[in-house]
């Protein structure tokens, strides 16, 4: 089964995310990408309205080393004028169908090490909810195959180096106007890659015994 529109796995923004918050120009570039992602989700997910309502996004973070709360504060401030509200949560017990139904998209930027993802995520996405899985999101919920299938692959390890990601699909609404940049970032090695991924952006790929460093 193909993931519904709005499921953005590690391939399109992973290589950009950390550098975003260290350089003003790159900062603007990635926020432009996030506006494109969430704005595209709004176009496909909501019915036509005379006055478009604001898009509601739930940001699932944690209190670990990637400091999601700091990213949330920046994203919230920049997306607000674009008609996008962002709400932050760390507690997985809040990820229920009742709460998810209040939002158009779930943005995951966290390292939750429990072995199962909140079950309500999967049916909610199947029913049309948007999922934006950024950076370390692919390493959550080991060994949940259902989660890895949803985000497109299973995190194995990472190193880090400078890279210049290339846009593969210039016509997709997420990457259509995404500018090029060179940045140092963690390069994630993945296994169990799904065959139904739609590649939007890629850096150099290196084989690691059946896994891929992208």
CA distance 51 to 53: 6
pLDDT given for residue 212 in this prediction: 47
Q: Mean pLDDT over residues 99-119, rounded? A: 89
pTM > 0.85: no
CA distance 78 to 140: 27
SS3 140: coil
**Is the pLDDT at 32 greater than 60, yes or no?**
no
Q: Mean pLDDT over residues 159-184, rounded? A: 87
**Is the pLDDT at 207 greater than 70, yes or no?**
no
C-beta of residue 11 within 8 angstroms of C-beta of residue 205:
no
Percent of the chain scored above 70 by pLDDT?
71
CATH code 3.40.50.300 for 7-213? no
The pLDDT confidence band at residue 108, using thresholds 50, 70 and 90, is: very high
- Centre a 10 Å sphere on the Cβ of residue 202 and count the other Cβ atoms it contains: 16
Q: Mean pLDDT over residues 194-206, rounded? A: 78
Residue 75 or 140, more confident: 75
CA distance 38 to 35: 5
| Least confident segment among 56-60, 113-117, 120-124, 165-169 | 113-117
Break the chain into its structural domains and give their ranges. Answer: 7-213
């Amino acid at each position: 089964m193909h993931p519904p529109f709005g499921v953005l796995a590690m391939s399109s923004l992973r290589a950009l995310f950390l550098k975003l918050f260290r350089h003003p120009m790159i900062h603007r570039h990635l926020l432009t990408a996030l506006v494109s992602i969430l704005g595209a989700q709004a176009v496909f997910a909501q019915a036509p309205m005379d006055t478009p309502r604001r898009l509601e996004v739930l940001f699932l973070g944690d209190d670990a080393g990637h400091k999601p709360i700091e990213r949330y504060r920046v994203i919230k401030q920049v997306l607000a004028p674009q008609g996008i509200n962002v709400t932050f949560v760390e507690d997985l017990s809040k990820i229920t169908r009742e709460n998810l139904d209040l939002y158009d998209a779930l943005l995951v930027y966290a390292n939750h090490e429990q072995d199962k993802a909140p079950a309500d995520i999967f049916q909610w996405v199947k029913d049309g909810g948007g999922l934006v899985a950024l950076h370390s999101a692919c390493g959550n919920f080991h060994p949940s195959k259902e989660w890895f299938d949803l985000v497109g692959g299973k995190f194995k390890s990472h190193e880090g180096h400078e890279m210049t990601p290339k846009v593969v699909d210039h016509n997709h609404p997420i990457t259509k106007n995404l500018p090029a940049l060179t940045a140092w970032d963690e390069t994630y090695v993945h296994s169990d890659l799904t065959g139904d991924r739609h590649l939007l952006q890629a850096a150099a790929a290196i084989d690691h015994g059946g896994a891929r460093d992208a």
